[in-house]
Amino acid sequence: MSQSDQRNNSSHWARLEERGVYVGLRIMLWTYRVLGRRGFSLLMYPVIGYFFIFDSEARRSSRAFLTRVHATPLGRKTFIDKPGLRQSYHHFLSFGEAILDKLWAWAGGIGEDDIIYENREIFDELQLSGRGGLLIASHLGNMEVCRALGQLSLGLKLNVLVHTKHAPNFNRLLNQVGPASSVSLIQTPEVSPATAMMLHNRIAQGEFVVIVGDRTPVNQSPRQGWAPFFGQPAPFPQGPFILASILECPVQLIFCIKRAGQHHIIFENFSNLINIPRRNRTKILDECVATYATRLEYYCSKDPLQWFNFFDFWGLDRTTGKNSNPIE
């Protein structure tokens, strides 16, 4: 393995997240339970400042992403001037606020008055059919709020697919904050036939499966496609769309974005049914990935400080082999 491959391998999002993330969450949980929301928020600023100063990779990736946003017409409406360290620091602070909201949501601290649903009629129609479906989420906004509020407001049963090996620990940890029996975290690096059958049965019973569409597989699976994303080809997983074709169910996009103190839960129809015949497999998957990337870029342009991917999302350009980070 070359030095370049080793560097990219070590900076894969999954390895970055596993560096003490579970221990960090336990510390945050203890602080939250002892000091409450206000006390936790007071401690958050120096902690975020510490990571902003010493985590150069995350800081550099934040600036690179915000610079890409600024290069688009919609992004320039968000950032009048080219983003610098100040905007990047606010990006980190936004992440800290999202962590606080995550704990607050699981504890039942966010109610109906804190939620604004957009395009809820799309989701209501699907629920009335009696079947569930696949919800493709992202790291834009706060999906933990979506999970908790979904069960409080819409009576959902959610099965959230996660890549991390710490899923059982996270389940126990979140239940310490506030029981969330209608949400199940399922650790699955790849969906096996047995898992697919289990998910198919749950959807038939009216439950929903949630999977993120902006993280490439942990195991370097070839099941990823490339699509334009803020002016540069970026890798996106094909897994959500392959899973949708296996489950033979409706697919919706879901975002949870905080604006003016309220959580906007946004639904968008993606497809009533994704059919991937072998002869058109590559073409259909490329179209699915491109459509998802376009919608994600649209919402990221409107609320860029809430896209929490603090690593080089673009990685190495697949055609040139050079680093695509515009800051470097």
DSSP letter at 263?
E
What is the per-residue pLDDT for 7? 44
Q: What is the mean pLDDT of the chain?
A: 80
Smallest Cα–Cα separation from 236: which of 122, 307, 163, 314? 314
Query: What pLDDT, on a 0 to 100 scale, did the predictor assign at position 232?
Result: 93
Kindly report the number of other CB atoms within 10 A of residue 294's CB atom: 12
Q: Classify residue 85 as left (phi > 0), alpha (psi -120 to 50) or beta.
A: alpha
Instruction: Quote the pLDDT of residue 245.
Output: 95
**Average pLDDT, 10 consecutive residues per value, the chain (328 residues):** 46 46 67 79 84 92 94 85 90 90 76 85 82 92 72 72 66 59 70 88 92 74 84 93 94 94 92 93 96 97 93 67 42
- Rounded Cα distance between 274 and 245, Å, is 5
The encoded tokens of residue 85 equal: 């360290």
Distance, in Å, from the CA atom of 229 to the CA atom of 183, rounded to the nearest integer, reads: 31
Give residue 230's pLDDT.
Answer: 95
Token pair for residue 7? 């560097």
- The H-assigned helical ranges of the chain are 3-10, 13-17, 21-54, 56-70, 73-78, 85-106, 120-128, 143-154, 167-177, 193-204, 239-247, 281-302
pLDDT number for residue 130: 81
Total-model pTM: 0.85
Closest CA to 259 of 92, 142, 99: 142
Q: How many whole angstroms separate alpha carbon 115 and alpha carbon 131?
A: 24
Domain ranges (residues) in the chain: 3-306
Distance between CA atoms of residues 269 and 254, nearest Å = 9
The long-range contacts involving 286-290, CB below 8 angstroms and separated by at least 24 positions, are 286/225, 286/227, 288/225, 288/238, 288/241, 289/225, 289/226, 289/227, 289/236, 289/238, 289/241, 290/225, 290/227, 290/228
Say how far residue 199 (Cα) sits from the centre of its chain: 20
According to the CATH classification, is domain 3-306 in 1.25.40? Answer: no
CA 5 remoteness from chain centre: 25
> What is the token pair recorded at 271?
């497809």
Angular region, 206: left φ>0, alpha ψ -120 to 50, beta rest: left
C-alpha–C-alpha distance, residues 112 and 101, integer Å: 15
